[in-house]
A and B are shown apart, each in its own frame.
Chain A
Amino acid sequence: MKLIIDQINKVFENKTRLGIMSALMVNESVDFISMRELLGVTDGNLSSNISVLEHNKYIKVKKRFINKKTNTSFSITKVGRNAFQAHLNALEELLKWRLK
């Protein structure tokens, strides 16, 4: 049991961060505005949670200029993908164990 709890990733115990990772698992990249609309969060909330994920090297942030406007897009890293997969496995194991 201890082992499973260790695998539950604290970084993902936040709805916004969980949402960001979920979206990036199934999309090559998602831009800032699409992400904000998808999750229904404020700019500030999104930015701060993006920073946390970026700090953990789970996602990559790419800034480009399109028509003189900044366009920020996010994509998942190998580390992020593995971490999220491990988190999902842990959730699955935990629920299985609780249902026994």
Chain B
Amino acid sequence: MDKDRDHLESITHIRSIMERSTTFVSLTGLSGVMAGLFGLLTFVLVATKLGSVTISDGIINRIAAERDIQYFLAVIALSALVVTLLTALILTVRKAKKKGEAIWNSVSRRFAAHMFIPLCAGGLFTTALVLQGQYQLVCPALLLFFGLALLNAARFVQMDMFWLGLVEISLGVIAAFWYEAGLILWAVGFGVSTMIYGILMYFKYER
């Protein structure tokens, strides 16, 4: 009988090691919540500056014509990116310390590579769109690349991230065809969805 318990324990141990050695557990849902908040804040600032939540041809012409708006959008976009990444990093380091886990291990390295390679590609692609005046494609491109990055990195965290990725990709595709709603869809993707995902993850895995 004791032998049986040993064997059962072996199986539990094997499973736990396999899971822990392939998932990055220090990522917290709170990062998602904060990213969502910054996303919504960005949306409010941009919509206020443009004086509209829909991207009409008039708005696109205004962005193309006014240097002031271009700089404002660039600064807002970069600040949102930096603040979001910094917050996520701080929260992750804090959680790793609390759990006594190494922040920079082989899993987190692979997670980072799978997440940031598509994200950087998306950033550069979006920059090219801006430089070529394709403003109506900026929101869809950001959504699509963000979704692909999530999809790609999900297997190092949990499959829930895969579903968030699919949501972002769907929003990106819709935004590509219906660019007038791009900004709103961006707010749904980067703000609302990300925040809901963060809250769900927090209650599912961290409470």
A residues contacting B by CB (< 8 A) are 12-13, 15, 18-19, 22-23, 25-27, 29-31, 33-34, 37-39, 88, 91, 94-95, 98
Complex contact A25–B10 (CB within 8 A): no
Q: Is the CB of A23 within 8 A of B21?
A: yes
With a cutoff of 8 Å between Cβ atoms, the chain B residues found around residue A88 in the complex are 14
The 9 closest A-B pairs by CB, nearest first: A22-B17, A23-B21, A22-B14, A34-B105, A19-B17, A26-B18, A22-B18, A34-B106, A91-B7
Indicate the size class of the contact surface on chain B.
10 to 19
Residues of B within 8 A of A31 (CB): 106
Does residue B11 face the partner (Cβ distance < 8 Å to A)? yes
B18 / chain A contacts, CB cutoff of 8 Å: 22-23, 25-26
A residues less than 8 Å from B20 (CB atoms): 38
Contacts of B13 in A (CB 8 A): 15, 18-19, 22
- Say yes or no: A37 contacts B10, CB within 8 Å: no
Q: How far in angstroms is the closest Cβ of chain A from B151?
A: 20
Q: Write the chain B residue with the least CB distance to A20.
A: B17
Do residues B7 and A37 form an inter-chain contact, with CB atoms below 8 A? Answer: no
